[in-house]
Chains A and B, each alone.
Chain A
Amino acid sequence: KNEVEQSPQNLTAQEGEFITINCSYSVGISALHWLQQHPGGGIVSLFMLSSGKKKHGRLIATINIQEKHSSLHITASHPRDSAVYICAAPPCSSNTGKLIFGQGTTLQVKP
């Protein structure tokens, strides 16, 4: 079992739909990253959060440290949101901040 698990693995939505991607982790962490990766492209950091909720445009990320769970929400989804979304966290046991990555959620938003 991976230390960072995401669901669903694949997600297809119609333009305009509200989307939720979930991330659960089994190790102690100080913060969690949500990352976006387009096909063949590098990774863009969307959020880093250690508590509560953060919002940027149509994207909202929440985290519940006690439940070891985080969610990424996309409101009014658009085809340009199609990408792989990855949650990642540096375990407290590491002093390097190296990230452990979830397996990613491939999102396709259809027009």
Chain B
Amino acid sequence: ETGVTQSPTHLIKTRGQQVTLRCSSQSGHNTVSWYQQALGQGPQFIFQYYREEENGRGNFPPRFSGLQFPNYSSELNVNALELDDSALYLCASSSIAGGTYEQYFGPGTRLTVT
């Protein structure tokens, strides 16, 4: 059973650029949630994908978008990067079963916007 993986580990981008972050969910999981964690803060929910459809969204602007693929891996895309987008981006996979939503986190992608 493989765990949740994310790529890349670190990324440096310039303000105004676009970035794509990737997440491979744990085997058997059909749901991926994305979180943003700014330095010194707790993670904030960005959105969740369930069976390739967006299944809930936090308070993030439309320039944050995502995809989920048939194998349940997922991408987070951020357009028109701003300095405040610098953060650790975490994805978590889960299997919606019994309403318990146990989530397994990936190691995160550290994004720096300069």
Contact = CB atoms under 8 A, between A and B. Distances in A.
Interface of A: 30-31, 33, 35, 40-45, 48, 50, 86, 88, 90, 94-104
Contact of B31 (A31, A42, A97, A102): A97
B69 interface: no
Contacts of B110: 40
Interface in B41-72: 42-45, 48, 50, 55-56, 58
B56 A42 contact: no
Interface residues of B, number: 29
Main secondary structure of the interface of B (DSSP, over half): strand
Given A30-B100, A31-B101, A35-B105, A97 B94 contact: yes
Contacts of B88: 42
